[in-house]
Structure 1
Amino acid sequence: MRSIDLPTVRFTLALLVCASFLGVASATHAATDPDGVHEVRSSVDKVVLYRGVASVERIVEIELESGIHELVFTGLPMEDVDWDGIRASVTAPWQVLGVDYSIDQVVTPEGGRKTLEAAVKAARERLRRAELERKGVEEDLLLLGMVGVRVASDASGDAGTPSLDLEAVRAQFEFVRTQRSALQKELLSVEQEVRDAAEELKRAEQAFDKAGWTEKEIVARVRIASTTDGVAKVSLRYLKLSSGWEPTYSIRSDSTSKTMSVEYEALVRQETGEDWNDIELTLSTAMPSEPSGPGEITPVFVDRKRVPPPASRKSASSDSAVFGMSEGAMVGGSRGRSAQKVAESMRNAMVADGGTAVTFQLPTRVTIPTDSMSATRLRIAGFDAPASRVLVTRPVTDPGVYLRADLVNKSSYVLLAGQAALFAGGEYLGSTEVGEVPAGGDFEVWFGIDPSITVTREVLGRETERTGLLGGGRETTISYRIDLANLSAQAVSVEVWDRRPVSRDEDIDVRMVDVSPELATDQTYLDTAAVRGLLKWTVDLAAAGTQGASQSINWSVRVSRPKDLEITPIPE
């Protein structure tokens, strides 16, 4: 056992002195030296993982006699730990009297140094022998290759002559093949031995480098007491940084199904420096270090109304925002487990809604190695979401026809905002963003372009003429046409969007004329998009090669104003 010097720094965080300890011990007795001090090595048993920090719980079981005992937790992480939040608990009939931590100086004894020197020497010898054995096997393989070349050369020279003994040649080739296979297997085994020996040497040298030097170590001390003998199960909890999780999804589409499979997963980042082996994991959306509260109220003002400067022609990405679609929303083209373990891992997590936070209790224990270069993907839940598929085109910004899925979150889970990988018929299409969706809420996902439908948009003409008895007005007319063609063997419906100018001045009148077919009449469109100048049609296209596989949309926009009124350019 290592010797631990007197602490150089000690912060007492909590000392809960019992005024009456189970009716026997007094406060004076609780403050005296404990009946026993026990150094314990604990392991991580439970983790509550928040979005940027982890609540880590270590558990140790120890059999103790009645009285007051101090458990000294060693082997704790030094960095990225919020030790101000340290807590301890113990099973009945034991009670926690206090918990504190200190930064101690730890010295490796001289005897331990000699043991480490011997370990380094043995590891070096093991590595040397393994490397020699690997070199011998590699030379045997090289020699065998030369034998194979000689056999092939001899057989080639005797080809077509009576001296060619086919059976002997076959036997020689079989011998070479068998020996090569055996040597290759032996080489794999020897190479593994070299890697193991090198890893052993690395660990031994690291331990040796620390020998004889004084180092700092975090030590936690927990005082517990009981009037009866028994086993005490003590847990130590603290907050550890360098860890967190993000929600992620896999959404799979099958064109013949009225639902889509949604896999709800967590991408866990674990950089704590120690592996979490066979732990109980809970995922939480709370932030323990950031209690929530109402936002600040900012002042508002009333001022003279000013007409903003005319907007420039929008790019494709800004037009997407006009249509209510964020940039990038359209997507372009354990081994050895028992059946019971596999079934447990496929169960959904237990969800708890705490008002301002949601937690997911994973159904089985998991192992998450520490790794700063990658993350671990864990399953939270899976469910089938009712889905309706809609083909959408906005040729004023993009000539493509896109597949949009309107989904319903029928699970009992809140879908947190995160990335979603999209699959169609087993093929990966790409990824998109999913916003936060409450249980029972609707959300949409874009699955990219459907190449079987073509769309073209054309400005047919533009003219400006005088109006009124004395020519006191001006009227500009712009005519448009959109052509759609279905190249697939199935009839489809396409949602077509475009736009018209919206007047910001009472002297400027904007009208739609000669519209064919009629615009959409659903109330949602009329109450929202229509008032913003967006145009919507639903066009039915028959299967390719049949009447109605091609359709056209025609309309004109007329902008009238007084002749002396200068207006901003009318976009096409």
Structure 2
Amino acid sequence: MRSLSLIILAALPFPALAEDFALTSDVGAVTLYPQGATVTRQVPYSIPAGQHQLILTDLPRSTPLASVRVAVEGAAMGSVTARRDFVPPRTEEETAALQAARAEVERLEDELRDARAAVETIRLEAEAARARVAFLEKLGEGEGVTALDIAALRDLSAMIGEETLAALRTAQDAERRADAVARSLEDLEDELTRAKQAEAALVPEDEDRAMLAVAVSAEAAAEGVLTVTYNTEAAGWEPVYDLRLDRKSGALTLERGAYVAQSTGENWQAAELTLSTVRPSEQTAPSEVWPWLRRIYNEPPLQPVPLARSAPESDMAAGAQMEEAMAVSPEPIVAKADFDGLSVSYSYPGKVGVATGADRVRLALGTLDIQAETVAKAVPLNDLSAFLVAEFTNDTGEVILPTAEASFYLDGRFVGQRYMEMIPAGDEAELSFGPIDGLRLTRTVEDRAEGDRGVISKSNRIAETVRIEIENLTGEAWPLRVLDRVPVSEQEDLEITWDATPTPVEERVDDKRGVLAWEFELGAGERQEIRLSHTIKWPDGMVLR
């Protein structure tokens, strides 16, 4: 806690009070939603008797000021003022890690400069030696050399040779030493690059901040805590599952976790995190029902009506919310789940740091154990092989949340990742764990006739026969569930009859009309045949669509 300078506070449009106190705050606790978060900052203060202002200048500029709520313990609270513009500067206190990283960069830069200077000094020695050689060469070419007697000429030649050799050796030695130092520069440059990367990895915060001023009063000197909460859209969490199925025992393990990220403009250094499945960013009230006004018009000409198509799984996944995630370790720290009948919240023990706009932190949420029954599910209409499916009841007492981050493992082998729907507590569900390549599917249209004389342009009758074959090449017996379909009608004049051998065990699978199911055990090396036929009739003069 420190007093703001009188120069700064003189510009603030607040009433003259006894004293103003500038407080520094950090994010203490965060409740994260799939989209958005509620942030709590708790700041201790100490004031003398009288009326004062507690001032925070370190709220993120992106803070929705209308959502700010303030509580004061230890003093009476008066007005609360918030602003984004004309905010007094705040004193930046660099972390010890950032100070150490910058000091290391500066040390390496100084060392690199000294090493480069040493290389230049050594190369100057080589240049000086080469200059001596050049001088000696000129000396041997001087005009007075021809006047020397033989003895003097011999002495001069010997001296030039010795001095030239010495100078060349000096130049060679200097170049060798300069090259050795230059090679060491490469390691020093690499070390400096890594140090700069380490400094850059300490994510900087946004400098621009918002300000909050809280008027307080006390009859005597007081100490207490200022609590500030606000909502932000710049944070959230999404769930992730690792689903592991042991086919032999039927044990299905769901390792749960959460990915947490935020881009509020400030780093959360040590925050207490609570993950909630509440979705305040989505619809929070029931829809209205308005009067249904019907009108009649002259009947327009009939237009072809395209058959409705169900939305593909990827489209449904795109609009689904993500919730939960997972961290694997020998003895992971996991969050405690709390289900109040409306939503689930996970309180993570300990404190977590999350850098703004950079970190994607994974938290463990514990493991659920479920007993499942495995079956081979075959859809010859669309697939060439059957798929291994685990059927189970969610008897864990907890909601299994929807997520696009669901990874599936069969007997320890990764088989794929895809979107997973929510599975409420007590609900029955099935999950697929990949294809069974040895269960081959064949679907052949054996006969298709239109009209009484084959294919004609204006038929009012279609008959079709399909042969379905399932072949087991896996070397073991499989419980099999086969799905196919026959056409259905909602018009009295459109008559549809069908027949199947063997008879299906279900004729309206998942309440879908015309979807049939057969169940049987298929032994190793065995083949099963299903014959399915249907006939469609309609009056003359009408067209089948």
Common fold by TM > 0.5: yes
Residue 223 (structure 2) pairs with residue 236 (structure 1): no
User: How many angstroms apart in 2 are the aligned matches of 1:229 and 1:265?
Assistant: 47
Residue 501 (structure 2) pairs with residue 516 (structure 1): yes
Matched with 2:163 is none
Matched with 1:129 is 110
Residue 71 (structure 2) pairs with residue 89 (structure 1): yes
Question: C-alpha displacement at 1:543, in angstroms?
Answer: 1.7
Question: C-alpha displacement at 1:418, in angstroms?
Answer: 1.6
1:235-289 CA distances to partner (integer Å, 9 max, x unpaired)?
Answer: 2222233212222322122212323111232222211122112211112233557
1:17-58 CA distances to partner (integer Å, 9 max, x unpaired)?
Answer: xxxxxxxxxxxxxx9824x42222111111122233222222
User: 1:464/1:241 Cα in 2 relative to 1: closer, same or farther (>3 Å)?
Assistant: closer
User: How many angstroms apart in 2 are the aligned matches of 1:476 and 1:105?
Assistant: 79
Residue 21 (structure 2) pairs with residue 38 (structure 1): yes
Question: C-alpha displacement at 1:453, in angstroms?
Answer: 0.5
Matched with 2:436 is 450
User: How many angstroms apart in 2 are the aligned matches of 1:237 and 1:108?
Assistant: 20
User: How many angstroms apart in 2 are the aligned matches of 1:134 and 1:499?
Assistant: 80
Question: C-alpha displacement at 1:232, in angstroms?
Answer: 1.8
1:410 aligned residue (395, 418, 422): 395
User: 1:105/1:556 Cα in 2 relative to 1: closer, same or farther (>3 Å)?
Assistant: closer
1:301-326 CA distances to partner (integer Å, 9 max, x unpaired)?
Answer: 778999984757x9xxx6xx59xx83
Question: C-alpha displacement at 1:455, in angstroms?
Answer: 0.7
2:34 aligned residue (48, 51, 55): 51
Question: C-alpha displacement at 1:188, in angstroms?
Answer: 7.2
Residue 252 (structure 2) pairs with residue 267 (structure 1): no
2:528 aligned residue (524, 547, 551): 551
Residue 378 (structure 2) pairs with residue 393 (structure 1): yes
Question: C-alpha displacement at 1:487, in angstroms?
Answer: 1.2
Aligned-partner residue type, residue 406 of structure 1:
E
User: 1:354/1:536 Cα in 2 relative to 1: closer, same or farther (>3 Å)?
Assistant: closer
Residue 8 (structure 2) pairs with residue 5 (structure 1): yes
User: How many angstroms apart in 2 are the aligned matches of 1:347 and 1:445?
Assistant: 25
Matched with 1:347 is 334
User: 1:96/1:395 Cα in 2 relative to 1: closer, same or farther (>3 Å)?
Assistant: same
Is the 1:123–1:201 Cα contact (8 Å) retained in structure 2?
Answer: no
Matched with 2:313 is 326
Q: List alignment gaps of at least 5 residues for structure 1.
A: 13-30, 110-120, 139-179, 331-341, 468-472
Matched with 1:537 is 518
Is the 2:439–2:470 Cα contact (8 Å) retained in structure 1?
Answer: yes
Alignment of 1:204-353 (within 5 A): 217-227=209-219, 229=221, 231-288=223-280, 292-300=284-292, 309=304, 321=310, 326=313, 345-353=332-340
Is the 2:254–2:367 Cα contact (8 Å) retained in structure 1?
Answer: yes
User: How many angstroms apart in 1 are the aligned matches of 2:347 and 2:474?
Assistant: 46
User: How many angstroms apart in 2 are the aligned matches of 1:381 and 1:307?
Assistant: 59
User: How many angstroms apart in 1 are the aligned matches of 2:330 and 2:216?
Assistant: 40
Is the 2:17–2:53 Cα contact (8 Å) retained in structure 1?
Answer: no
Question: C-alpha displacement at 1:456, in angstroms?
Answer: 0.5
Matched with 2:165 is none
Alignment of 1:368-447 (within 5 A): 368-372=354-358, 375-419=360-404, 420-447=406-433
1:145-173 CA distances to partner (integer Å, 9 max, x unpaired)?
Answer: xxxxxxxxxxxxxxxxxxxxxxxxxxxxx
User: How many angstroms apart in 1 are the aligned matches of 2:504 and 2:486?
Assistant: 13
Residue 86 (structure 2) pairs with residue 100 (structure 1): no
* SS of aligned partner of 2:264: coil
Question: C-alpha displacement at 1:380, in angstroms?
Answer: 2.6
Matched with 2:159 is none
Structure number with bigger Rg: 2
Aligned-partner residue type, residue 395 of structure 2:
K
Residue 502 (structure 2) pairs with residue 491 (structure 1): no
Structure with the higher strand share, 1 or 2: 1
* SS of aligned partner of 1:131: helix
User: 1:456/1:350 Cα in 2 relative to 1: closer, same or farther (>3 Å)?
Assistant: closer
Question: C-alpha displacement at 1:86, in angstroms?
Answer: 1.7
User: How many angstroms apart in 1 are the aligned matches of 2:433 and 2:386?
Assistant: 11
Question: C-alpha displacement at 1:485, in angstroms?
Answer: 0.8
1:492-528 CA distances to partner (integer Å, 9 max, x unpaired)?
Answer: 1221122222234433432223x32111148x63x82
User: How many angstroms apart in 2 are the aligned matches of 1:465 and 1:135?
Assistant: 94
Aligned-partner residue type, residue 395 of structure 1:
P
Aligned-partner residue type, residue 81 of structure 2:
D
Kindly report the root-mean-square deviation, in angstroms, between the aligned alpha carbons of the 2 structures.
4.5
User: How many angstroms apart in 2 are the aligned matches of 1:44 and 1:364?
Assistant: 14
User: How many angstroms apart in 1 are the aligned matches of 2:59 and 2:478?
Assistant: 63
Aligned-partner residue type, residue 5 of structure 1:
I
Matched with 1:21 is none
Is the 1:348–1:382 Cα contact (8 Å) retained in structure 2?
Answer: no
User: How many angstroms apart in 2 are the aligned matches of 1:505 and 1:217?
Assistant: 67
User: How many angstroms apart in 2 are the aligned matches of 1:65 and 1:108?
Assistant: 23
Aligned-partner residue type, residue 538 of structure 1:
E
Q: List alignment gaps of at least 5 residues for structure 2.
A: 92-101, 120-179, 318-328, 454-458
Is the 2:57–2:89 Cα contact (8 Å) retained in structure 1?
Answer: no
Question: C-alpha displacement at 1:328, in angstroms?
Answer: 8.7
Aligned-partner residue type, residue 555 of structure 1:
L
User: 1:280/1:291 Cα in 2 relative to 1: closer, same or farther (>3 Å)?
Assistant: same
Question: C-alpha displacement at 1:74, in angstroms?
Answer: 2.3
Alignment of 1:69-218 (within 5 A): 69-78=52-61, 80-91=62-73, 93-102=74-83, 103-106=85-88, 126-132=107-113, 191-192=190-191, 195-196=194-195, 217-218=209-210
TM-score normalised by L of structure 2: 0.69
Question: C-alpha displacement at 1:451, in angstroms?
Answer: 0.7
User: 1:308/1:353 Cα in 2 relative to 1: closer, same or farther (>3 Å)?
Assistant: farther
| Percent of residue pairs identical | 26
1:75-115 CA distances to partner (integer Å, 9 max, x unpaired)?
Answer: 2222x211122222234x44433432244354699xxxxxx
Question: C-alpha displacement at 1:126, in angstroms?
Answer: 3.6
User: How many angstroms apart in 1 are the aligned matches of 2:211 and 2:397?
Assistant: 43
User: 1:134/1:44 Cα in 2 relative to 1: closer, same or farther (>3 Å)?
Assistant: farther
